[in-house]
Structure 1
Amino acid sequence: MSNDTPSSNPHPQAMRAWVYTSTRGGIEKNLQLTNDAPLPFHPPLPNDAILVKVHYSSLNPADYKFPELGLAMRALVPTPASPGMDFSGVVAQLGDAVNSNFRIGDKVFGRIAPNRHGTLGEYVSARLDGCAAVPAGLSLKDASCIGTAAQTAYQCIAPNVKPGDKIFVNGGSGGTGTFGIQIAKALGCHVTATCSAKNAELCRSLGADEIIDYTTENVSQVLKAKGQVYQLVVDNVGTPTDLHRVADHFLLPDGKFVQIGGEFSVANVTTVLSRQFLPSFLGGGKRKWQYLITNNTHADLEQIAKWMSEGKVKAVIDEVFQYEDVPKAFEKLRKGRTKGKIVIESST
């Protein structure tokens, strides 16, 4: 059966899921596939919840970085747990208070916050703010890519620009970067993006007006030479480490630097805190800086899906893995060289 064909069991008792109890040595070495995982709710379904049978999910670096934080994360997400935040599928059950526009069998997509019952389970319990209908012309596979990467890019860019503004996207070929380039263009912006030479054609095809090859050029110096022309910087990478400190050379005085990428480490946390609180003479920057935490927003999901159904934005998918190959998908994701998104096709 095609994963784009709505199907559901209206009264599931248990579910298939990839689960972990430890992340020692990497989450991909600890995932186990079980056929009798508990449902993501204690019956009855909460009034404000939508139970979705997952057909596709897409992976994000946070799907392994958060669980691997150790005890701090275990306090928030006790194990055994399933990873995953992004999903697409069909409505299996509706809470009594859910908007009547949703019906059982409807195609939907969205994002959940990290919890014990992630999107690598057969079913996921979503809230309205993190769930939207799949419009005509958009496949479930492509819709599964929107939740985290596209929504993050949108929330970085849309509130901070107007048509004609110049934006710099640091890291243009990854999941968030590929969406960021396209969203910025849909909003009428001029886009400069970094990527390697092998990914330059991809970034240009998505709408990037200028490319900086970070493998052969000093990104900070190239930007400084352009002068104060950018309204917004979106940093998906976290390097070069001096990018925010020297941003006053290329960001307009009222411009903004939005950070969403970087390694989860003590050093990176220290860098983040210095950018937020230290004055420039102590290592901070002179331009407004924000570390963006994605918030599920129904209207944002709808807008992105609308653009995709109209052909203004598309999902860039590096590879689709079958459900049985989830550990291999995490292995590839961890290498950090994917073009766009990695998608998991669930068995139905």
Structure 2
Amino acid sequence: MSNNNNDTSPSTPQAMRAWVYTSTRGGIEKNIQLIDNAPLPFHPPLPNDAILVKVHYSALNPADYKFPELGLPMRALIPTPASPGMDFSGVVAQVGDAVAASFRVGDNVFGRIPPSKHGSLGEYVCAHLDGCAAVPEGVSLQDASCIGTAAQTAYQCIAPNVKEGDKVFVNGGSGGTGTFGIQIAKALGCHVTTSCSGKNAELCRSLGADEIIDYTAENVSQVLKAKGQVYQLVVDNVGTPSDLYKAADHFLRPEGKFVQIGGEFSLTNITTIMSRQFLPSFLGGGKRKWQYLVTNNTHADLEQIAKWMSEGKVKAIIDEVFQYEDAPKAFEKLRKGRTRGKIVIKCST
């Protein structure tokens, strides 16, 4: 019998609760409003290759406010009213025929949707196979919600670029991507050095970091240069110090790579990024391979990270869990930039 969920059925909701914004002037947290009659993330019937997920938890990322706040350029891609959020965990509500072999109604799942009009701060999200995976036994929906962007980004920075025994430097080890990056590098058998403030040093050590550089007390670039060309990979989660890439000529192996995933959305930062990629070293560039990583949803990557989580090799570090009605407060805290691990919003039970 065909498991065709593409036909409109009595179980198909007609509308949903969602946090939406029409403007981001003064910050998204001052503009999002909770409404009860937001449109569904699809026009029934459900697309053949889609999974409709009732969201239980949504983990926030800086991009969840930075992208909407880019203004007109982003408005052209994501028309308002729109809901923010990319990361989710929840329960499958409907399944299209093309993915019926992978998911069933009632399955616990997690994943990531790209920035869109219907984000994960809505009651439902419309996911696809590449951005969705089953929550394994022993992993909570709350923890699984943290994987989508931060853990997947860390994995895609590290896994393709190292082998067992390599030395990795994670710049900014106590944030969402950094906490996952330390653990993923260790799961792959690497030696990990990370930077963080002194108050977060013990957290980073507990995640497996072999060496800590306290950026509040030491010059990160100088400490690394003193070690010599020993690192195979640098993952820069924060974009500072500004001379880190140029200094990498001294501590990154000739065949090594510098991967940038963090930094402010500003003209100055864009100029810096461009100089790193195209300028010769005497004009401010560097000699090492450099990449600005854009996260791609990959089903196999999500499954691997979840497997490590079920085995206890990787865990989600959660700074705070906010109730759904307190989403603006969650964005306020995220914007301060002092989060240890992830901020999670509990959307439903």
Common fold by TM > 0.5:
yes
Identity of aligned residues (%): 86
Per the alignment, residue 265 of structure 1 pairs with 266
* Aligned AA (1:285): G
State the distance in 2 between where 1:90 and 1:242 align.
45
Q: Does 1:31 align with 2:37?
A: no
Per the alignment, residue 118 of structure 2 pairs with 117
Per the alignment, residue 329 of structure 2 pairs with 328
Q: CA deviation at 1:114?
A: 0.3
Q: Which moved more, 1:153-162 or 1:275-284?
A: 275-284
Per the alignment, residue 161 of structure 2 pairs with 160
Q: Could you say what secondary structure the match of 1:226 adopts?
A: coil
State the distance in 2 between where 1:193 and 1:12 align.
47
Q: Does 1:313 align with 2:348?
A: no
Q: Does 1:94 align with 2:95?
A: yes
The answer for unaligned runs of 5 or more in structure 2 is 1-9
State the distance in 2 between where 1:47 and 1:197 align.
51
State the distance in 2 between where 1:246 and 1:121 align.
44
* Aligned AA (1:184): A
Q: Could you say what secondary structure the match of 2:275 adopts?
A: helix
State the distance in 2 between where 1:209 and 1:19 align.
43
Per the alignment, residue 3 of structure 2 pairs with none
State the distance in 2 between where 1:173 and 1:99 align.
39
* Aligned AA (2:177): T
State the distance in 2 between where 1:15 and 1:137 align.
30
* Aligned AA (2:27): G
* Superimposed CA distance per residue, residues 110-138 of structure 1 (whole angstroms, 9 cap, x where no aligned partner): 00000000000000000100000000010
TM-score (norm 1): 0.97
State the distance in 2 between where 1:100 and 1:16 align.
29
Q: CA deviation at 1:289?
A: 0.2
* Superimposed CA distance per residue, residues 298-345 of structure 1 (whole angstroms, 9 cap, x where no aligned partner): 000000000000000000000000000000000000000010000000
State the distance in 1 between where 2:182 and 2:61 align.
18
> In 1, are the aligned partners of 2:55 and 2:348 still within 8 Å (CA)?
no
* Superimposed CA distance per residue, residues 154-175 of structure 1 (whole angstroms, 9 cap, x where no aligned partner): 0000000000000000000000
Q: CA deviation at 1:347?
A: 2.6
Per the alignment, residue 297 of structure 2 pairs with 296
Per the alignment, residue 339 of structure 2 pairs with 338
State the distance in 1 between where 2:73 and 2:102 align.
39
* Aligned AA (1:183): I
* Aligned AA (1:234): V
Q: CA deviation at 1:99?
A: 4.1
* Superimposed CA distance per residue, residues 182-224 of structure 1 (whole angstroms, 9 cap, x where no aligned partner): 0000000000000000000000000000000001100000000
State the distance in 2 between where 1:56 and 1:66 align.
21
Alignment of 1:18-57 (within 5 A): 18-57=19-58
Alignment of 1:135-154 (within 5 A): 135-154=136-155
Per the alignment, residue 237 of structure 1 pairs with 238
Per the alignment, residue 107 of structure 1 pairs with 108
Per the alignment, residue 175 of structure 1 pairs with 176
Count the aligned residue pairs.
340
* Aligned AA (2:239): G
Q: Could you say what secondary structure the match of 1:47 adopts?
A: coil
Per the alignment, residue 6 of structure 2 pairs with none
Q: Could you say what secondary structure the match of 2:246 adopts?
A: coil
State the distance in 1 between where 2:348 and 2:106 align.
17
Per the alignment, residue 196 of structure 2 pairs with 195
* Aligned AA (1:104): V
